[in-house]
Amino acid sequence: MKVKIFDEEHESDLEKSVNDFLEHENIEVIDIKFQTAVSIFSDEQIFCFSAMIIYY
């Protein structure tokens, strides 16, 4: 069993990264975990979109 972790600033970038990985790898996906985090730095909101793929 292996894991692959993705971390992007925009949800569309995360979607593309995950889809590219799934398209180009010959794997059996066991599970995909998704998480969103947000923080505030000065007046700016910073988002973090991440996913972890558990696979064989």
Specify the pTM.
0.83
Mean of per-residue pLDDT scores for the chain: 96
Q: What is the pLDDT of residue 22?
A: 96
**Confidence label for 25 from pLDDT (cuts 50, 70 and 90):** confident
Domain ranges of the chain: 2-55
Instruction: Classify each residue of 8-41 as buried b or exposed e, where b means 16 or more C-beta atoms within 10 Å of its C-beta.
Output: beeeeebeebbeebeeeeeeeeeeeeeeeeeeee
